[in-house]
Every structure is written in structure tokens, then in C-alpha cells.
């Protein structure tokens, strides 16, 4: 069934998204009255070249072959990416770009709209949004990042606009670059970068970008349009071959990310940059707008009412846009923090740049350009045929045979803190699964330090012997796999129910008293902890030291001090949980004091040759909490006291946190600490594929990758990763009884997805 009610349609904004939506809507129903309002003249355009992906072009081809054919005639195509860093150029091929001039794209869409009978009103401001909504069945707001339609209904759409830290300007060169070129120049004022690509046989887009403070120091704030273009041409003379740059109303600007809580209101719907923006470094703005138009047109045909159609459009597009915005944010932040990576060897720097958004990964880069990827692996130190994840890594006296860590996962299956057969099978199975390091759950240093009645401890001799049974099994049956213990105390998050009975919910009965840095309950209905006195702090230090001594006797190869997730030591570090006015509260140095005292006490009894790591929450995901800058300070302090690695997690410190979830979403914090502090790091958080692990390690964003849920889904995750990559080297070993399963089973093939909207000729 189709939406018969949308007979008169107003499109506000004559950019590619608005024009293409108008053409599709008119083509689907020629009896519709479709009108586009555009404030600029038909030959006005800003920017120069537009990049479209093969995926987007495929959607256009099926929905409107005439537009696709016209685009095909004008596309400039290329495969290579050049990355120039400190005088060295590396080229990666096989990427497959297509671009054309923005003016040409608009001309094609103008012609198509005229052919179909769309009304185009140029040099004309659109009527008031409320008036359009009354006089038309549907209003498509495609009026860009500064959308007046969006602002008119801001209380409904609830937009969030975030400005970022770089200035950039769109320019052009009157020759065709032979590749998509990234060039990095280190000037006396700071780092500047060029993003350039051809869009015609005799023209290239050139975007120059730099941090705000570099832009000001270089004096660009005082330059007019012509002076800016001339100065940029001189700075990037090598890339341009000494040729000039031209401008077209080119102003330095700051990129703004637009996110809306809602995309429609009544019969008004947002499309393209009015609804969402994504940084130009992944070439996504026009692509997203065109794909929005395709989806909106399809949903209007498929749904029985306008309301259902607009809801379906948003439901379909929102996850895609959110994923693209996460990738764009990662790319944007990579370029904002470009100076962090300048010390990397040129080829690793190039690999890091290519994989910055996490859309391009080690595996698909290998498919695109085997030569480049293998060269990057050789320079990293990978033996022939060895993926990065299967290279060894040394921490103090312990050499891990690969870079995979089974992350600590609370199992809530102990009785009186005693690990039993469940823990033997759980940890033993994952050790047999091939990971370089298997970590226990948080093992508590006292009965009162447990999170739940089902949490394990190591505060008695019997518990120590039970843990020894597990470490003996791992060392005997999974030789080459190390096993580590994570020591912690629940603090204000203790005395709660088992996870599946109500996570962080207080026990109905059998509660024990809680202690914490300050008298602040985790949730309003949680038990209020007592603020620790000086004497109690001394007792707690001894509990941690005693537990570490027992852990050494139990045979653990590595010890991790849990200073994350809002538990006791984390509660001292976070300003949201620590409101003390004594020497253990206030400034970051003071908030660090007790966790560092505990660390020193543990290090004093932990065997010298065995590594000691620290897990931290690098952000609280809440206003007023731990910041990334704080995280660097925390990591630097622990490293100065002898921490061998920092396990970088985030959040779970306050109940009202707002995490920014997504694939590998915590890795940027590990990346930050690794490069700012120079200490080895363990990355965690939604790392789910061996391709992600290879990518993160080869790019130099982390040293080890810890995975939790994937190891619950598949205890033999690492062995299977080796089998799927055809790796049979020393970094993994199939247990003799399992060798018959070391080949990947065959699978059937599925049908490719059908095009989103297919209208024929």
C-alpha cells in the first residue's frame, strides 16, 4: 500500500539531497505537485568536488537509471590513496573512489527535475515552515546544517549541535591529483593537513585543516579569502607542484556535528544535513543525503499513511546514520589529534590514518592492497604469515604468546567467596581456547568487599588453594596461556543482588555494611556507605597486600588492580564519588593518593618478575566526572609507580552515566593514554572481531585487546580466529583432543540483499 495523502510536496533546500528527493517523489507519482525552494541562484555552488560510494551509486542506478547514466558520464574515478608524512609518501591502492564537480551534480539534478515537472524556485526564500505545512501534504526540510525549518521546530526535533576543534577551508586546484592525497606538514605554528582528490580531468578539491590554535598562531584569522588560498598553496607547494589554489566564497569554518532526537513533526521531515552531519574526512554528507532521499521515497510508497511512512523512514535511516556519525567522529578526532601520531614510523602512520574511522580494517585493507598491508606487518615485526594479533608481547618477566586477553567477567557463582567447579570449567575452557592471557573476575579482598554473595574472594587459605587448583589446570593443560587475577573491593557498589536477579539492586536481606571514599550512595535507593577513616584506610591497604600475597601463592602469572567501574578505588579517583576534604580528596593528586598507596603495598609483596597492571575508568560519561585529561594523569601516576600496563575501560562509576556506545567505543581512550603516557595499554569495549584486534594493534592504538562477551559466545574464540586466518604458528596451540576441529567448517552462501528502491527505466 502507498501513501496516497502526499499529493502536494514542498522541498526546502536545493542541494543534492533535496533535489534528488524531489525528482524521486515526482517520478514515483507524476500527478504529484512537487516544488523546491532554493535561496541561491541555480549556478551558485559552494565547495568543489563530491565523492559518492559504489553503494550509493548502486541505489541511484536502481531507483533512477537516467540520473545514474548522467552521473557516469561525468565521474572521475581513481583507486589510490597517497599519504605523505615527514617526507615519505606511501600509496595504498584498491579503494575505488568516484567524484564529480558539485556544480555538475546540481546541473544533472536540475535537468532531471525539469524533465519530470518539478517546480524549481531559485533565488527564493521558502515560505514560513508553518505556512508550508498548512498548504502542503508533506514538507521535506533539506535546508542544510543551518536549517531554518529545524530551528522553527527546535522544541520538537531537539537538535544538538557540537562544534569541534579544527578550522578548515574548501579550495580547488586547476589540475587533477593522481590519487586521494593526505599530506601532513609540520610548521613553526603546528601541524597542518591537506585532504585532496580529483573531481574532473582538470580539477581537484583541496581541503586544508588545522587545530584552532594553530590557525590563530599562523595568522589565518587576519587573512582574506585570496590571502588564505595563496598561503595554503605555499605551505602545500610539494603536493600542488607549486601551482596555485583558487577559492569560491571559501571561508574558514569549524565543523559542527548535528544530531536530532526526532526527524519528523506532523507532516514536516528532516533530510540530509538538516537532520544529521558527518565529517567530510569520510566523504559522507552528500552520500547520506542521497540515501535519505531514496529511503524516504521508498517508505512513502510502502506505508499506508504519512505518519507511518515518516516513522519508517526514521527507523530505517537512524541506525545507518548513527553508525556513519560514529565513524565520522572517530575520523574527525583522529585528525584533531594528528600530532599524537607523528612519531609513528611512516608506514604505520599511513595504516593508522587509513583505518582511523574503523570502516576500513586490516582485513579489507589486505584485500584491497595486499602489498601495502604486508609491508606494514613486516615493519611492525610480524613474522611471515603471522597476523598482528599473533605476535608476542612482553610485560616484565612474562611473555604473552599473542595479544588476546579474556577480559575479567563477574560470574556470580561462588559460595562464601570460594571458587568452585564452575570457575575451573569457565576459566579452564577459555584458557584452552588459545588466548594469550585469561583474567579472573574481580576477586575480592574481604567478605565486605564483595559485590554480591556470589562473588569470589582470596582472603582465606581455602580460597587460595581453590584458585591454585585452577591455575595448575591452566598451566598444565593450556601451556603457553597465562592466567591473571584482578583484585578489587566493591566499595559503595557492594551488598547487591546477583546480576540476573537485579544488577546493582540492594539485597532484600543479608546485607553487609558498605564503605567508600564518601557517604554517597550509588543510587538514591542504594545503601549509603560509611566514609572511610584513616585507620580503615590502613586496614584496607593491608587487605589488598594480603590478597596479593595469596594470589602469588595461588600461582597467578599477572595481577591487575581494579581501579575502575565505581568500585572502591575507582570511587576515590572520580570527583563524582569522592567529596572528601582531607588529604585523600579534592585535586586529582589527592584523589590518587589512596589508590597509589594500595598499588605500592601490592607491588611490595607481588613477585618482582610478575607484571602488575591497573584497570581504570578513563571517563565517567557524566558531567563533572573524570575527563580524558584526568585519565592521562591517572595513568601517568600509576606508570610512575611501576604499573606495567594500563587496562583502559570507562564508566559504571555513576548510575546516571550516558555512554557513547559503538564498536570499539572505548579504544580511543586507550589510544590516548598509550601515546600521551608511553605506557603499554589494554583496550576493551565492544571489540568483537579478530579483524578489529589486528587493526587496532597494527595501527598502534593498543598493545593488547581484552574481549568479554565474544568469549562467552565462543570460549575458543582465539583458536577460531587462527583457523579463519589460516594461521598455524606458535602463538596458538590446539589442545591435542581438539585438533580435529582446527579447520573452519564449510558454510552455505546467502543471497545478496535486494536494492532499496528499484523503479526500472
Return the number of other C-beta atoms located less than 10 Å from residue 401's C-beta. Answer: 22
Label each residue of 181-206 as H, E or C.
Answer: EEEEEEECCEEEEEEEEEEECCEEEE
Dihedral sign computed on CA atoms, order 345, 350, 356, 361: negative
- What lies within 8 Å, CB to CB, of 358 at 6+ separation is 327, 330, 663, 664, 692, 695
Q: Is 11 helix (H, G, I), strand (E, B) or coil?
A: strand
Unique residue bearing C-alpha cell 557498589: 493
* Torsion on CA atoms 120, 121, 122, 125, rounded to nearest 10: -140
Q: In DSSP terms, which residues pair with 363 in a beta bridge?
A: none
Residues 716 and 434 sit within 8 Å (Cβ to Cβ): yes
Local structure of residue 666 (DSSP, 8 states): T
DSSP letter assigned to residue 382: P
Active-site residue identified among 412, 459, 567, 584: 567
Please state, as a whole number, how many other Cβ atoms lie within 10 Å of the Cβ of residue 383.
12
Residues contacting residue 435 through CB under 8 Å, at least 6 positions apart = 402, 404, 405, 406, 481, 711, 717, 718
For the purposes of burial, counting CB atoms within 10 Å of the CB of 7, is it exposed (0-12), middle (13-18) or buried (19 or more)? middle
Kindly provide the b/e burial profile for residues 324-338, where b requires at least 16 CB atoms within 10 angstroms of the residue's own CB: bbbbbbbbbbbbbbb
CB distance 584 to 517 below 8 Å: yes
Nearest to 20 by CA among 53, 54, 55, 68: 68
Strands 33-37 and 530-531, by their bridges, are: unpaired
Q: Distance of CA 4 to CAs 103, 196, 244, Å? A: 34, 45, 54
Report the C-alpha gap between 707 and 689 in whole angstroms.
9
CB 111 within 8 A of CB 240: no
Q: What is the rounded distance in angstroms from the CA atom of residue 460 to the CA atom of residue 418? A: 9
Does residue 661 carry a catalytic annotation? Answer: no
SS3 707: strand
Beta strands in 212-279 (DSSP E): 253-260, 264-265, 268-270
Which one, of 643, 641, 501, 640, lies nearest residue 562 by Cα?
Answer: 643
CA distances from 437 to 74, 392, 478, 482 (A): 54, 11, 11, 5
Burial of 62 by CB count in 10 Å (0-12 exposed, 13-18 middle, 19+ buried)?
middle
Residue among 275, 320, 313, 402 at smallest CA distance from 697: 402
Please tell me whether residue 167 adopts helix, strand or coil conformation: strand
Backbone angles phi, psi at 379, to 5 degrees: -65, -30
Give the H or E element holding residue 617: strand 612-617
Grid look-up 562509576 returns 653
Give catalytic residue positions.
567
Amino acid at each position: 500500500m502507498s501513501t496516497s495523502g502526499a499529493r502536494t510536496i514542498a522541498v526546502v533546500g536545493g542541494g543534492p539531497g533535496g533535489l534528488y528527493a524531489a525528482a524521486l517523489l515526482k517520478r514515483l507519482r507524476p500527478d504529484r505537485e512537487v516544488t523546491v525552494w532554493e535561496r541561491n541562484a541555480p549556478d551558485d555552488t559552494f565547495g568543489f568536488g563530491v565523492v559518492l560510494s559504489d553503494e550509493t551509486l548502486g541505489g541511484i542506478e536502481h531507483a533512477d537509471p537516467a540520473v545514474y547514466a548522467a552521473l557516469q558520464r561525468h565521474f572521475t574515478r581513481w583507486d589510490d590513496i597517497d599519504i605523505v608524512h615527514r617526507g615519505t609518501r606511501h600509496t595504498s591502492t584498491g579503494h575505488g573512489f568516484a567524484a564529480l564537480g558539485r556544480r555538475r551534480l546540481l546541473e544533472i539534478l536540475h535537468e532531471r527535475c525539469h524533465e519530470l515537472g518539478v517546480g524549481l524556485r531559485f533565488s527564493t526564500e521558502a515560505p514560513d515552515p508553518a505556512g508550508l505545512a498548512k498548504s502542503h501534504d508533506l514538507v521535506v526540510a533539506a535546508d542544510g546544517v543551518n536549517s531554518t525549518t529545524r530551528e522553527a521546530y527546535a522544541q520538537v526535533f531537539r537538535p544538538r549541535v557540537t562544534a569541534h576543534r579544527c578550522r578548515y577551508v574548501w579550495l580547488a586546484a586547476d589540475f587533477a591529483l593522481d590519487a586521494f592525497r593526505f599530506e601532513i606538514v609540520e610548521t613553526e605554528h603546528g601541524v597542518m593537513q591537506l585532504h585532496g582528490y580529483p573531481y574532473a580531468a582538470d580539477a581537484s578539491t583541496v581541503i586544508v585543516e588545522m587545530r584552532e590554535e594553530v590557525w590563530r598562531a599562523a595568522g589565518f584569522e587576519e587573512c582574506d579569502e585570496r590571502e588564505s588560498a595563496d598561503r595554503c598553496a605555499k605551505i602545500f607547494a610539494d603536493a600542488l607542484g607549486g601551482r596555485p589554489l583558487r577559492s569560491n566564497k571559501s571561508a574558514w569554518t569549524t565543523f559542527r556535528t548535528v544530531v536530532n532526537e526526532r526527524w519528523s513533526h506532523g507532516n514536516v521531515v528532516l533530510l540530509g544535513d538538516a537532520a544529521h552531519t558527518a565529517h567530510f574526512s569520510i566523504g559522507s554528507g552528500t552520500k547520506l543525503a542521497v540515501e535519505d532521499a531514496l529511503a524516504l521515497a521508498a517508505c512513502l510508497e510502502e506505508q499506508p499513511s504519512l505518519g507511518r511512512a515518516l516513522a519508517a523512514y526514521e527507523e530505517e535511516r537512524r541506525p545507518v546514520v548513527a553508525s556513519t556519525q560514529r565513524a565520522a567522529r572517530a575520523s574527525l578526532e583522529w585528525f584533531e589529534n594528528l600530532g599524537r601520531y607523528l612519531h609513528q614510523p611512516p608506514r604505520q602512520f599511513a595504516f593508522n590514518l587509513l583505518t582511523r574511522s574503523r570502516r576500513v580494517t586490516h582485513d579489507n585493507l589486505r584485500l584491497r592492497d595486499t602489498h601495502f598491508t604486508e609491508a606494514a606487518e613486516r615493519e611492525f615485526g610480524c613474522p611471515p604469515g603471522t597476523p598482528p594479533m599473533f605476535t608476542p608481547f612482553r610485560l616484565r618477566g612474562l611473555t604473552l604468546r599473542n595479544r588476546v586477553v579474556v577480559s575479567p567477567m563477574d560470574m556470580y557463582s561462588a559460595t562464601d567467596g570460594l571458587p568452585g567447579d564452575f570457575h575451573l570449567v569457565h576459566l579452564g575452557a577459555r584458557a584452552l581456547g588459545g588466548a594469550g592471557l585469561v583474567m579472573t573476575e574481580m576477586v575480592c579482598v574481604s567478605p565486605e568487599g564483595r559485590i554480591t554473595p556470589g562473588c569470589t574472594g582470596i582472603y582465606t587459605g581455602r580460597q587460595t588453594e581453590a584458585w591454585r587448583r585452577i591455575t595448575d589446570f591452566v598451566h598444565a593443560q593450556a601451556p603457553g596461556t597465562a592466567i591473571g587475577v584482578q583484585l578489587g573491593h566493591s566499595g559503595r557498589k557492594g551488598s547487591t543482588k546477583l546480576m540476573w536477579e537485579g544488577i546493582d539492586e540492594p539485597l532484600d536481606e543479608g546485607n553487609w555494611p558498605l564503605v567508600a571514599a564518601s557517604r554517597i550512595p550509588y543510587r538514591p535507593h542504594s545503601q549509603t556507605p560509611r566514609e572511610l577513616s584513616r585507620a580503615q584506610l590502613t586496614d584496607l591497604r593491608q587487605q589488598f597486600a594480603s590478597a596479593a600475597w595469596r594470589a602469588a601463592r595461588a600461582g597467578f602469572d599477572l595481577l591487575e588492580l581494579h581501579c575502575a567501574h565505581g568500585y572502591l578505588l575507582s570511587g576515590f579517583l572520580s570527583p563524582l564519588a569522592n567529596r572528601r576534604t582531607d588529604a585523600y580528596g579534592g585535586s586529582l593528586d589527592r584523589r590518587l593518593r589512596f589508590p597509589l598507596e594500595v598499588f605500592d603495598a601490592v607491588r611490595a609483596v607481588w613477585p618482582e618478575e610478575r607484571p602488575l597492571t591497573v584497570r581504570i575508568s578513563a571517563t565517567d560519561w557524566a558531567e563533572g566526572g573524570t575527563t580524558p585529561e584526568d585519565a592521562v594523569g591517572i595513568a601517568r601516576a600509576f606508570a610512575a609507580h611501576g604499573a606495567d600496563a594500563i587496562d583502559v575501560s570507562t564508566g559504571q562509576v555513576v548510575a546516571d552515566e550516558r555512554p557513547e556506545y559503538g564498536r570499539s567505543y572505548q579504544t580511543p581512550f586507550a589510544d590516548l593514554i598509550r601515546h600521551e603516557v608511553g605506557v603499554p595499554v589494554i583496550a576493551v569495549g565492544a571489540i568483537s572481531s579478530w579483524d578489529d584486534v589486528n587493526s587496532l594493534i597494527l595501527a598502534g592504538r593498543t598493545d593488547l585487546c581484552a574481549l568479554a562477551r565474544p568469549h562467552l559466545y565462543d570460549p575458543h574464540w582465539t583458536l577460531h580466529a587462527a583457523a579463519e586466518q589460516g594461521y598455524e604458528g606458535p602463538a596458538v596451540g590446539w589442545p591435542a583432543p581438539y585438533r580435529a576441529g582446527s579447520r573452519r567448517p564449510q558454510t552455505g552462501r546467502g543471497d545478496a540483499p535486494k536494492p532499496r528502491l528499484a523503479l526500472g527505466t
